[in-house]
Amino acid sequence: MTITIIGSGYVGTTFAAILSNCGYKVYALDINPKIIESLKNKKAHFFEVGLNDFVKKGIESGNLIPTTSYKDSIANSDVVFSCVGTPDNPDGSSNLTYVFDSALEAAKYAKEGLIYVQKSTVPVGTGKRVLEKVKKANPNLLIHYISNPEFLREGSAVFDTFLTDRVVVGGEHKQSIKTVLDIHKKVSEYATKIDFSLYEEFANVFSDKIQNIDEKIKDIKYLSTSLESAELIKVTANAFLALKISFANSVAKLAQKFDADVNEVMDGVGSDARIGRSFLYAGLGWGGGCFPKDVSGLISLFEQNNIQNPIMDAAVSENHSMAAYLIGLMENELGSLKNKKIAILGLAFKSGTSDCRRSPSINLANELIKKGAVVSAFDPKANSEAMEYIDSEVKVKDSAEDLLKNIDSVVIATEWPEFKEYDWKNLLGEISTKTIFDARNILDKQKLQKIGYKYVGIGK
Residues 338-357: x where in contact with ligand UGA by CB under 6 A, - otherwise, as a string = -----------xx-------
Three-state secondary structure string covering 259-283: CCCHHHHHHHHHCCCCCCCCCCCCC
Picking from 413, 349, 314, the residue whose alpha carbon sits closest to that of residue 10 is: 349
Q: Does 459 bind ligand UGA (CB under 6 A)?
A: no
Q: Which long-range contacts (CB under 8 A, 24 or more apart) does 92-97 make?
A: 92/296, 92/297, 92/299, 92/300, 93/123, 93/296, 93/297, 93/300, 93/301, 93/304, 94/121, 94/122, 94/123, 94/293, 94/297, 94/300, 96/122, 96/123, 96/126, 96/129
Per CB under 6 A, the segment of 83-91, 144-152, 368-376, 420-428 that binds ligand UGA is 144-152
**Distance of closest approach, residue 280 Cβ to ligand UGA, in angstroms:** 6
Q: Does 154 bind ligand UGA (CB under 6 A)?
A: yes
**How many Cβ atoms are within 10 Å of 198's Cβ, its own excluded?**
10
**Distance of closest approach, residue 226 Cβ to ligand UGA, in angstroms:** 20
109, 281, 325, 378: which one contacts ligand UGA (CB under 6 A)?
281
67, 102, 121, 246: which one contacts ligand UGA (CB under 6 A)?
121
Contact present, 326 and 337 (Cβ < 8 Å): no
Residue nearer to ligand UGA on the CB measure, 58 or 149 = 149
Q: How far is CA 198 from CA 50, 53, 195, 216, in A?
A: 11, 9, 6, 21
Residue nearer to ligand UGA on the CB measure, 6 or 290 = 290
Q: Does 389 bind ligand UGA (CB under 6 A)?
A: no
Tally of residues, the chain? 460
Cα-only R_g, the chain: 23
Residue nearer to ligand UGA on the CB measure, 68 or 93 = 93
Q: Which residues are catalytic?
A: 290
9, 58, 287, 459: which one contacts ligand UGA (CB under 6 A)?
287
Q: Please give the size of the binding site for ligand UGA, defined by CB under 6 A.
A: 21
How far is it, in rounded angstroms, from Cα 341 to Cα 320?
Answer: 24
**Distance of closest approach, residue 67 Cβ to ligand UGA, in angstroms:** 24
Q: Does 279 bind ligand UGA (CB under 6 A)?
A: yes
Give the distance from CA 181 to its chain's centroid: 23
- Pairing relationship of beta strands 143-147 and 166-171 according to DSSP bridges: antiparallel
Q: Does 150 bind ligand UGA (CB under 6 A)?
A: yes
Residue nearer to ligand UGA on the CB measure, 116 or 159 = 159
Q: Does 252 bind ligand UGA (CB under 6 A)?
A: no
Q: Does 277 bind ligand UGA (CB under 6 A)?
A: no
**Distance of closest approach, residue 413 Cβ to ligand UGA, in angstroms:** 10
Q: Does 151 bind ligand UGA (CB under 6 A)?
A: yes
- Which residues between 288 and 327 bind ligand UGA (CB under 6 A)? 288, 290-291, 294
Contact present, 64 and 16 (Cβ < 8 Å): yes
What would the DSSP string read from start to end of 345-359?
A: E--SSSTTB---TT-
Contact present, 147 and 170 (Cβ < 8 Å): yes
- Which residues contact ligand UGA by CB under 6 A? 121, 150-154, 238, 241, 245, 279-281, 283, 286-288, 290-291, 294, 349-350
